[in-house]
């Protein structure tokens, strides 16, 4: 008889045996209430956290169901302290509720009066909550976000039922045929995602995060949510190219007119019923001590809904502004809720809980994502570079490994192997990308490339006129290149799991020929870059992607043999 696949430790770490016949089913179930931390070859390490449990509760999980599954699949008995902690975290979800009050005040209520009184006396809530003689707790409506932030840091999430500002009415419908004449219909999961956020227009919905893979149509989910609410909407996204893509999609998928959709960027300042802006313009200020020039955009335009595209990238000043606009409906869109800065609790408290999520591999099986093959290519360094690496400090070592000239031959070999494919070469360091663009005669897009040139190059790539592009970090997010089917990552941002996911996502759109996507990540062998690569791959491992590990010499030999046969 096969032993169960899990070991649940006293620190709420869960070990999952990857060679177990029940591994895939256990991985998919764990992902609903635990976070992957490490993924060695034979055992993956998950951790159960307060936020992971609260997000599970928001998705409809219960303590009884989670604990019953853990007990049934654990190799050894689970210590009572762990089960008690999980039950307590589930109990806290929904324990505190914010309700409308009188005279522009809100009421904080709980079924457990003793817990409420104890929390109200905490120093972190001083000046936020007033406690009346009869025990009623109230606060100014404008401190709604501050209270939610403070309470989540105390370990008590708030179920916000205080209602929302309607915003200016905006009547529009979804098209059944795009502007270009193509048939269009929402996919079932897009309808379900928008509906989970909307919750029938009740105060049970109206805030939260939809988590869907890159290429699954998160923009369309945002538009569907807008259509359900029929209110003026502010969309925030990562860059001007993404702004214009949002504008095109809104006009393509709805019957809104061009004069109803506006761009608010460094180049244009249009405030319209649907306004699409960048995070950068909101965080612009003339000097470090000056006020943010455009942060008042939240209060203009009669917006009843704020859509945060790529919500995992939300910058700190926008977090602070979001704390003050809790009476607006808020939708976050992302491929992964991973935040390397540890602010996942602030996304939870200020944007809302996870409302909808689908596993990447499920959408692949349904044909909505291309199957992907991931390969880590380990590239040796020259003796001279190894000596420099050994003599340098930790930070310098990262750059020395990233700039390994041995990667040039690997990039060349991969370009030869994929001569008939649409290839993106993507990386972190501009000098290295400029070098690759020069030696392989490829166009380069960086943050210094004008928006007009970016759009021109992206459009040429989409038309097939440019089958290859070199892109910096600006290519991580919100670019629509549906025919890209190969990505070669030559360097990355330390151990960023969300960046790895986003870069794979650039090639996951389904291909017309049903072909697979290929993702190569090049790392210098036996360096810190190899260690960072392991961490970067964690989220994708959790989603069911495996990395084949090959040496550069083996890959180069295979390409040479193929060329000789040709």
Q: What is the pLDDT of residues 31-51, one digit of tens each?
A: 899 998 887 778 999 999 999
Asked if residues 335 and 211 have their Cβ atoms less than 8 Å apart, the reply is yes
Give yes or no: residues 323 and 434 share one domain: no
Between the alpha carbon of residue 41 and those of residues 16, 45, 304, the distances in Å are 11, 11, 48
Query: Distance between CA 564 and CA 524 in Å, rounded?
Result: 28
**How many C-beta neighbours within 10 Å does residue 241 have?**
23
Based on the domain organization, do 254 and 233 belong to the same domain?
A: yes
User: Which CA distances in Å does 116 have to 55, 68, 111?
Assistant: 22, 30, 9
As separate numbers, helices (DSSP H) first and strands (DSSP E) second, the chain gives 22, 23
How many domains does the chain contain in total?
4
User: Shortest CA distance to 174 belongs to which of 218, 241, 222?
Assistant: 222
Nearest CA-CA partner of 343 in 375, 320, 327: 320
In a domain, 177, yes or no: no
- Nearest CA among 43, 46, 27, 51 for reference residue 35: 46
Dihedral angle over CA of 528, 532, 535, 539, nearest 10: -160
Please say whether the beta carbons of 470 and 437 come within 8 A: yes
CA 517 to chain centre: 20
Residue 555 within any structural domain of the chain: yes
- Let me know if residue 167 belongs to a domain: no
Q: Are strands 354-357 and 96-100 parallel, antiparallel or unpaired?
A: unpaired
More confident residue, 513 or 428: 428
Domain enclosing residue 194, as ranges: 188-358
Predicted confidence (pLDDT) at residue 550 exceeds the cutoff of 60: yes
**Segment among 277-281, 366-370, 421-425, 491-495 with least mean pLDDT:** 491-495
- Residue 76 forms part of a structural domain: yes
The residue out of 63, 92, 121 marking a domain boundary is 92
- pLDDT tens-digit map of 437-447: 999 999 999 98
pLDDT (0 to 100) of residue 426: 95
Question: HEC states along 124-160?
Answer: HHCCCCEECCCCCEEEEHHHHHHHHHHHHHCCCCEEE
Is 168 within a domain? Answer: no
- The 10s digit of each residue's pLDDT in 111-162 is 888 889 899 889 999 889 998 877 789 999 999 999 999 999 999 999 999 9
Query: Are residue 444 and residue 296 in the same domain, yes or no?
Result: no
Separation CA 545–CA 41 (nearest Å): 13
Same domain (yes/no): 426, 523 = yes
Flag whether 391 is in a domain.
Answer: yes
Of 7-11, 307-311, 337-341, least confident by mean pLDDT is 337-341
In a shared domain, residues 230 and 350: yes
Of 321, 340, 358, the one marking the end of a domain is: 358
Q: Any idea what the CATH number is for the domain that residue 116 is in?
A: 3.40.1170
* 268 lies in some domain: yes
Q: List CB contacts of 328: < 8 A, sequence separation 6 or more.
A: 164, 165, 167, 298, 303, 304, 305, 306
Query: Domain check: are 297 and 319 in the same one?
Result: yes
Task: Name the residue among 360, 329, 315, 320 with its Cα closest to residue 222.
Answer: 329
What sign for the dihedral angle of Cα 15, 20, 24, 25? negative
Please indicate, yes or no, whether residues 255 and 382 belong to a single structural domain of this protein: no
**Do residues 392 and 353 share a domain?**
no
Q: State whether 103 and 152 are in the same domain.
A: yes
Question: CB-side exposure of 363: number of CA atoms within 13 Å?
Answer: 25
Place of tokens 């419908």: 173
pLDDT confidence band for 478 (50 / 70 / 90): low
Query: How far apart are the C-alpha atoms of 557 and 552, rounded to whole Å?
Result: 9
The pLDDT, as a whole number, for residue 180 is 65
Residue 309 pairs in a beta bridge with: 333
Domain boundary, last residue among 318, 334, 358: 358
Least confident residue range of 165-174, 374-383, 471-480: 471-480
Instruction: Write the Ramachandran bin of 544: left for phi over 0, alpha for psi from -120 to 50, otherwise beta.
Output: left
* Token digits of residue 471: 């892109």
Q: Is residue 537 part of a domain?
A: yes
Confidence of residue 340 (pLDDT cuts 50, 70, 90): low
Annotate 37-86 with DSSP letters as a single string.
EE--SSEEEEE--HHHHHHHHHTT--HHHHHHHHHHHBSSPPPHHHHHHH
220/272 Cα distance (integer angstroms): 19
The pTM (predicted TM-score) of the whole model is 0.89
- What is the biggest distance separating any 2 CA atoms in the chain, rounded to whole angstroms? 88
Confidence band, pLDDT 50/70/90 cuts, at residue 285: confident
Secondary structure (3-state) at 184? coil
pLDDT of residue 286: 82
How big is the chain, counted in residues? 566
Q: Is the pLDDT of residue 179 over 70?
A: no
CA separation for the pair 460, 488 (Å, rounded): 19
- Which of 291, 335, 310, 294 minimizes the C-alpha distance to 235? 310
Contact 284, 296 (CB under 8 A): no
- Spatial neighbors of 320 by CB under 8 A, at least 6 apart, are none
CATH of the domain at 484: 3.40.50.300
């Amino acid at each position: 008889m096969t032993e169960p696949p899990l070991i649940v430790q006293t620190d709420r770490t869960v070990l999952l045996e990857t060679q177990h016949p029940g591994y895939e089913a256990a991985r998919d179930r764990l992902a609903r209430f635990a976070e992957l931390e490490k993924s060695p070859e034979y055992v993956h390490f998950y951790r159960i956290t307060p936020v992971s449990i609260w997000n599970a509760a928001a998705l409809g999980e219960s303590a009884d169901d989670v604990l019953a599954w853990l007990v049934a699949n654990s190799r050894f008995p689970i210590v009572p302290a762990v089960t008690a902690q999980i039950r307590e975290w589930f109990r806290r979800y929904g324990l505190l509720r914010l309700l409308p009050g009188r005279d522009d005040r809100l009421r904080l209520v709980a079924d457990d009066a003793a817990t409420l009184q104890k929390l109200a006396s905490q120093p972190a809530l001083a000046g936020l909550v007033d406690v009346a003689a009869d025990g009623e707790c109230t606060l100014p409506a404008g401190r709604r976000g501050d209270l939610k932030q403070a309470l989540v840091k105390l370990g008590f999430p708030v179920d916000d039922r205080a209602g929302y500002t309607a915003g200016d009415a905006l009547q529009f419908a979804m098209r059944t045929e795009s502007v270009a004449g193509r048939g269009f219909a929402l996919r079932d999961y897009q309808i379900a995602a928008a509906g989970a956020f909307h919750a029938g227009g009740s105060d049970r919905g109206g805030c939260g995060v939809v988590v869907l893979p890159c290429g699954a149509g998160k923009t369309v989910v945002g538009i569907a949510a807008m259509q359900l609410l029929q209110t003026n909407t502010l969309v925030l996204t990562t860059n001007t190219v993404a702004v214009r893509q949002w504008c095109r999609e809104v006009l393509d998928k709805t019957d809104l007119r061009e004069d109803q959709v506006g761009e608010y960027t460094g180049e244009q300042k249009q405030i319209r019923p649907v306004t699409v802006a960048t995070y950068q313009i909101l965080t612009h200020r003339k000097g470090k001590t000056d006020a943010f020039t455009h942060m008042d955009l939240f209060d203009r335009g009669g917006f009843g809904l704020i859509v945060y595209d790529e919500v995992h990238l939300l910058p700190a000043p926008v977090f602070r502004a979001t704390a003050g606009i809790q009476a607006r409906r808020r939708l976050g869109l992302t491929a992964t809720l991973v935040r390397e800065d540890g602010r996942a609790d602030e996304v939870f408290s200020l944007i809302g809980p996870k409302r909808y999520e689908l596993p990447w591999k499920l959408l692949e099986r349904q044909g909505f994502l291309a199957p992907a093959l991931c390969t880590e290519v380990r590239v040796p360094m020259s003796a001279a570079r190894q000596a420099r690496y050994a003599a340098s400090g930790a930070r310098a070592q990262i750059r020395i490994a990233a700039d390994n000239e041995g990667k040039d031959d690997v990039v060349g070999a991969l370009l030869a192997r994929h001569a008939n494919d649409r290839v993106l070469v993507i990386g972190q360091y501009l000098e290295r990308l400029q070098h690759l663009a020069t030696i392989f005669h490829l166009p380069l897009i960086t943050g210094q490339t004008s928006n007009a040139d970016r759009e021109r190059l992206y459009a040429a790539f989409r038309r097939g006129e440019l089958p290859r592009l070199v892109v910096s970090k600006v290519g991580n997010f919100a670019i629509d290149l549906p025919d890209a089917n190969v990505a070669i990552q030559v360097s990355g941002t330390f151990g960023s799991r969300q960046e790895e996911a986003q870069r794979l996502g650039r090639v996951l759109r389904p291909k017309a020929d049903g072909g697979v996507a290929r993702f190569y990540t090049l790392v210098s062998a036996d360096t810190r870059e190899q260690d960072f690569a392991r961490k970067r791959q964690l989220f994708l491992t959790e989603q069911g992607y495996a990395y084949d590990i090959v040496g550069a010499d083996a890959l180069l030999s295979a390409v040479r043999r193929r060329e000789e046969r040709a």
